[in-house]
Structure 1
Amino acid sequence: MAASTHMASVKKGIGIETISIVWMVIEAGVAIGSGVIAHALSLVAFGADSIIELIAGFVLLWRLSVEMRSTDLERVRRAEKASSWVVGIALLLLAVYIVIASIYKLVTHQGAETSFTGIGLSIAAGLIMPYLSRAKKRIGSEIGSKALRADGACSIVCAYMAWTVLGGVVLTALLGWWWIDSLAALALVYFVVKEGLETIQEARGVEDACGCGCHDD
């Protein structure tokens, strides 16, 4: 890839991360706020995921800014490694939170409570996050940033969680399946842990650490 084309892709990466950060601020605030008001643990968990993605987004924005300003490839590699560590750890923290929150809800027999604000947010996130995920993975491939690709994986997990929250509310309201959103959330744990461990392996310098997710663009 020509240097000018590469820098253009880096600039696109900065743009998509900026959009992602703005959305994550909105998503975290609305999800946690409406979750607390409605006593809906699934919405609070959704907001926690947004905060983790927000942290990862700021680190990725820093990593891309380093590459945009510097021709020092070693500095870029160090920024990439730091970004990979943060994104990988964020994914594992998200998995832990999903497990704890889901088990708590199952033990205490708590179902998803109806929140019209939460429903609207879930629909919006379910539509927006897949677009952001595809863009991050595509740009990450263009500039050779596995950290940016991993952040794309974070975004698609956010979309899955959005539809899980929405599906749980609807099924609970229609069929009384109070447990459905907890089980659906637990089903995401394998994907989240797998992506998180692969990203940490990349940060540690393990060759070919990335599994099938690196070939899906």
Structure 2
Amino acid sequence: MTTMAHKVSVKKGVNIEIISIIWMVIEAAVAISSGIIAHSLSLVAFGADSIIELIAAGVLLWRLTIEVRGASLARVKKAEKTSSWVVGIALFLLAVYIVIASLDKLITHQGADSTYIGIGLAIASGIIMPYLSRAKKRIGSDIDSKALRADGSCSIVCAYMAWTVLAGVVIIALLGWWWIDSIAALALVYFVVKEGWEAVQEARGKEDACGCCH
């Protein structure tokens, strides 16, 4: 790939990350606010994960922006590693919170209200994130960026989480099963722990780590 073509692809990477960050801000705000209103743990957890992913995306955007400007990437490697540690630990803490809160809701029989805003958000995220995932992986391959390709993998994980949340809120809306929100939240723990482990592996310098938080 020529230098000019490489720069064009990096700029595309910057643009796709900006779009991703904008959507993550919307996703986090809507998920957390509607989750609090509806007492939905799965929606709040989904929004909290979006905030953590937003931090990781911000670091990647910073790296790509520096590359666009032609500067060396050496000075951001330490920041990337620190970010990976912060994100990994935050994800593990989020997983612990989800487990404790879910068990508490199940024991005390606390259910969530149906939320059509949550349904709409989950549908939108389930559609948008696979598109962003494909774009990031394609551009990541063009510029030989493992970080951007990994971020694309993170986007598809976000889509899986959205579909899990969607299943929960739809069942609540249609059948009124009070316990399904806690079960859906517990299902998110797998994705959260997986992201956290991959982030920690990246922070430890594992070259083949394919985590979401590079």
- Alignment TM-score, normalising by the size of structure 2: 0.81
Aligned letter for 1:135?
A: A
Task: Give 1:14's aligned residue.
Answer: 14
User: How is 1:21-32 mapped onto 2 (pairs within 5 angstroms)?
Assistant: 21-32=21-32
Task: Give 2:129's aligned residue.
Answer: 129
Unaligned 5+ residue runs, structure 1?
none
Structure 1 position 124, deviation (Å): 1.0
Change over 3 Å in CA distance of 1:138–1:209 after alignment to 2: same
State the distance in 1 between where 2:154 and 2:125 align: 13
2:109 matches 1:118: no
2:208 matches 1:208: yes
State the distance in 1 between where 2:99 and 2:84 align: 23
Task: Give 1:40's aligned residue.
Answer: 40
Unaligned 5+ residue runs, structure 2?
none
User: How is 1:156-171 mapped onto 2 (pairs within 5 angstroms)?
Assistant: 156-171=156-171
Look up the SS of the partner of 2:133 in the other structure. Answer: helix
Task: Give 1:69's aligned residue.
Answer: 69
2:103 matches 1:103: yes
Look up the SS of the partner of 1:137 in the other structure. Answer: helix
Task: Give 2:58's aligned residue.
Answer: 58
State the distance in 2 between where 1:38 and 1:194 align: 27
State the distance in 1 between where 2:168 and 2:60 align: 32
Change over 3 Å in CA distance of 1:131–1:77 after alignment to 2: same
Change over 3 Å in CA distance of 1:209–1:21 after alignment to 2: closer
Structure 1 position 86, deviation (Å): 5.4
Superposed CA deviations along residues 42-93 of structure 1, whole A, max 9, x for unmatched, are: 2222221221122122111111111111342534655654565555455545
Change over 3 Å in CA distance of 1:210–1:32 after alignment to 2: closer
State the distance in 2 between where 1:85 and 1:144 align: 24
Instruction: Check whether the contact 2:41–2:185 (CA below 8 A) recurs between aligned residues.
Output: no
Q: Percent identity?
A: 76
Length, aligned pairs only: 212
Look up the SS of the partner of 1:196 in the other structure. Answer: helix
For CA contacts below 8 A with separation 6 or more, give which structure has more relative contact order.
2
Aligned letter for 1:60?
A: L
- Alignment TM-score, normalising by the size of structure 1: 0.80
Structure 1 position 179, deviation (Å): 3.0
Superposed CA deviations along residues 125-181 of structure 1, whole A, max 9, x for unmatched, are: 111111112222222233233332332233223222222222112223434443334
State the distance in 1 between where 2:151 and 2:98 align: 18
